[in-house]
Amino acid sequence: MNENTKKHLRDFIRDKISTDLTEGINDFIVTRFPPEPNGYLHIGHAKSICLNFGVAEEFGGRCNLRFDDTNPTKEEQIYIDSIIKDVNWLGYDSESNIHYTSDYFEQLYEWATFLVNKKLAYVDDLTPEEIRNYRGTLTKPGTESPFRNRSAEENADLLERMRAGEFKDGEKSLRAKIDMASPNINLRDPVLYRILSKAHPRTGDTWKIYPMYDFAHGQSDAIEDVTHSLCTLEFEDHRPLYEWFLENLPVLSKPRQYEFSRLNLSHTVLSKRKLIKLVEDNFVLGWDDPRMPTIAGMRRRGVPPTAIKDFIERIGVTKSDGIVEMSYLDNTIREHLNQTSLRRMAVLDPLKVIIDNFPEDLEDKLEAINNPNDESAGTREISFSREIYIERSDFLEDPPNKYFRLAPGKEVRLRYAYLVTCTKVIKDSNGKILEVHCLYDPESRGGNAPDGRKVKGTIHWVSAQYSNKANVNLYKNLFNSEMPDTGEDWLDNINQDSLEVRENCYIEKCLTNSTAGETVQFERLGYFCLDSSSEINNIVFNRTVSLRDTWTKKTSKVN
């Protein structure tokens, strides 16, 4: 075992691998992550990535990234590129061991011919719908196809003609001959090959037939000498078929399949079909929309990969299905960002404050802490001026008792700056507050009163003169329902208020030098990152997560 093995990580899969190595069943571990390149990866895939690449890394083995590219009607290069990017972003080396099922098409076809010659497979003329009807139900056995007992010679001829493109899509298929009365429906003569008159992105027009996942999966594992094929629980009933192929084909390697529970996350959907629906019907702004549970969306929202990996580690690997609350993911992200994010100030709903006794032409440069949890992060200079912006919610003209923010006659502390007292309020004809006038205490530079008087309220601000405008995207959960993935009306659960765009916000000047995806804390407001679409004249920040748990009934002091 690798010396770097994380001994604190224990689960039934790691225990099995450890036992196999100790008992000499395997001397080298090979796993694989086999996504279909027909969409972007989501947080559920991250669990499989972390498990497959993680155990290979921990036990000194190898994990292959294998693209299951057996359906050319849905696969695109853009998805392959995005998957590679996601795996690398999570911190795993995907590019050293990239494989494609399409690389094995010739070998898979030879094995299909082998099954035909052994009378373990036959060419069927039933349509896909008829095959489904003949298959039976959980309580009723299937019915054998009238073409099931063709001779091996006839089947071999028909299979070769299928490959040559003599038949139309759906006109024929190749099926394994197993047991139409099996209690496991997967063993009721499953389809091995179907006809698809579609050029493949990698093999072009070479093939007119393409293998089904259940046939290609296990054999591809065998070709790559995979030792532990780790799948989610929905493939548990497929394992007998996986083993049937390995037992009846002349493969040199005998991988073993183990199943674990998939990740189910509240207030979102992780069905690729439904994610495609959200994208194609413009319910979201693309696969990397920060509201999406895709890895690309989370990256654009500013979620650090270490937080995702820590979240996956915390929920563990079991065989029990369950729902993980979105709040648990948010809290994990929050914990990571609290330790690593630089602090900055921004005002999202600006109210102008004029400090009447502060010199008009003075730029006072103050020192501010970059991260109170990391002394090595140091400090930065921020500019203070006569006119500043504060959050509109930080001022009330007629405040309740125990209100410690700015109000007429009340004194507050401006973060890192001075103590100020409100003296006047200017409104428009409709009664809306346009600006607030204050006086500052010149002796309170840094925020402390020289006479030791207590000032309870501290609010953030930015200089009106020495700041930049920005737009800020505030995200909420994409679905109102905790379990939107159930039922046919799942689209009715979409939260119409999942995105709020705040325009004409004001941010510290240094934030214009941010890198896309770099997350900072806007003090008192939350964690935010520069969006990848930002330009010098159109700065956009995305909220990664709030400072507090917004899933509870507790409300933050700052909206």
Cα–Cα nearest to 318, from 229, 226, 255, 233? 233
Domains and CATH numbers, the chain: 12-102+216-315 (3.40.50.620), 105-211 (3.90.800.10), 344-467 (2.40.240.10), 469-545 (2.40.240.10)
pLDDT at position 8 is: 57
Are 263 and 293 in contact, with CB atoms under 8 Å apart?
no
Q: Are 155 and 149 in contact (CB under 8 A)?
A: no
Active-site option among 262, 274, 277, 502:
262
* Amino acid making up residue 520: V
3-state SS assignment for residue 398: coil
| 408-450 residue pLDDT tens | 999 999 999 999 999 999 999 999 999 999 999 999 999 888 8
Catalytic residue among 175, 239, 272, 343: 272
Q: Which residue has the tokens 């689209």?
A: 491
Q: What is the pLDDT along the chain (559 residues), one digit of tens a residue?
A: 444 444 557 899 999 999 999 999 999 999 999 999 999 999 999 999 999 999 999 999 999 999 999 999 999 999 999 999 999 999 999 888 999 999 999 999 999 999 999 999 999 999 999 999 999 999 999 999 999 999 999 999 999 999 999 999 999 999 999 999 999 999 999 999 999 999 999 999 999 999 999 999 999 999 999 999 999 999 999 999 999 999 999 999 999 999 999 999 999 999 999 999 999 999 999 999 999 999 999 999 999 999 999 999 999 999 998 899 999 999 999 999 999 999 999 999 999 999 999 999 999 999 999 999 999 999 999 999 999 999 999 999 999 998 999 999 999 999 999 999 999 999 999 999 999 999 999 999 998 888 888 899 999 999 999 999 999 999 999 999 999 987 778 999 999 999 999 999 999 999 998 999 899 999 999 999 999 999 988 999 999 999 987 655 433 333 3
* Known catalytic residue at 291: no
Q: How far apart are CA 168 and CA 84, in angstroms?
A: 35
Burial of 508 (0-12, 13-18, 19+ CB in 10 A): buried
Active site residue 272: yes
**Distances from the Cα of 135 to the Cα of 60, 124, 140, angstroms:** 44, 13, 9
* Burial of 230 (C-beta count, 10 Å sphere; 0-12/13-18/19+): buried
Which of left, alpha, beta for 60 (phi over 0: left; psi -120 to 50: alpha)?
A: left
Contacts with 45 (C-beta within 8 Å, 6 or more apart), sequence order: 35, 86, 295
pLDDT of residue 551: 52
| Per-residue pLDDT tens digits for 377-395 | 999 999 999 999 999 999 9
pLDDT score for 557: 37
Which of 16, 36, 236, 509 is catalytic? The answer is: 36
**What local confidence, expressed as pLDDT, does residue 4 receive?**
44
pLDDT value of residue 558? 38
Name the strands in the sheet holding 462-463, side by side, starting at the edge strand that comes first in the sequence: 458-459, 411-414, 419-427, 433-440, 350-355, 387-391, 462-463
